[in-house]
Structure 1
Amino acid sequence: MDARSLADAFDALEETWEPRLLAELNDQHVKVARLDGEFVWHAHEDADELFYVVDGDLTVEYREDGREDAVHLGPGDLTVAPAGVEHRPVAHEETKVLLFEPAGTTNTGDAENSERTVDDLERV
């Protein structure tokens, strides 16, 4: 068992949209990422994805059954993108987030051929 510092983890991140593995538990990954701008629309067919904003300003846009919606998040706020629901995070400034999702979940979900796909998740 060990303690992890979120501040140190975020300081280790230089690039945006490149999540890093912070911890693992019960076949779940806890990831840290810096976000800025718009991500790609995607869905995780068999996995929920939790977004927790540590610092910054984030909107998670959703599209399902022809309907669109959005959830705005500030520091201390979270939302869960349900499995199979198309979503896109949009950071209005550099935003620090924690992500919780099943181990092995690709950051771009069904948009795997995106230039933002991270195949080899590094640890911080």
Structure 2
Amino acid sequence: MKYTSINLQEKLAKFTDLWSPKVIAEMNDYQFKLVKVQGDFVWHKHEDTDEVFMVLEGHLTIEFRNGEVKLNQGEMFVIPRNVEHKPYAESECKIMLVEPKGVVNTGDKTTQQTAENDVWI
């Protein structure tokens, strides 16, 4: 086994595309993904899994049909399974997602923002 840490800033510097999660590690059946976001995302839900958002840099708002949560750098939020949500960032925000392997970024929808899944950096 190779004992090497994962440098989040180095990984984030390897891509510029928005709303396209990149896998950096796996633990059991879960993946840790980095993603840069800006502007509106699509309303969607993940019927079979919760989803973790951790803000590494910037500010993220996650809208729900009955409210919203605002996340700043160093904060995280767990979205329960089957809850419709729409992330939004006024300016570029860098986040880490933690979710089971195989989860598509747009959940139950297929849109122009649906990213290729399981892309490693």
Normalised-by-shorter TM-score class: over 0.9
Aligned counterparts of 1:104 and 1:121: Cα–Cα separation in 2 = 7
Residue 95 of structure 1, aligned match among 83, 86, 93: 93
Match of 1:84, SS?
coil
Identity over aligned residues, as a percent?
A: 39
Q: Is residue 59–residue 89 contact of structure 2 (8 Å, CA) maintained in 1?
A: yes
Q: Which residue of 1 aligns with 2:113?
A: 116
Q: Which residue of 1 aligns with 2:30?
A: 28
Runs of 4+ displaced beyond 4 Å? none
Aligned counterparts of 2:38 and 2:117: Cα–Cα separation in 1 = 21
TM-score, normalization by structure 1 = 0.92
Q: Map of 1:57-72 to 2, 5 A cutoff?
A: 57-63=59-65, 68-72=66-70
TM-score, normalization by structure 2 = 0.95
The runs of 5 or more residues in structure 1 that have no matched partner are none
Number of paired residues? 119
The runs of 5 or more residues in structure 2 that have no matched partner are none
Deviations 1:69-108 (A, max 9, x none): 1000000011011100000100121000000001110000
| Aligned-partner residue type, residue 23 of structure 1 | A
Q: Does 1:13 align with 2:7?
A: no
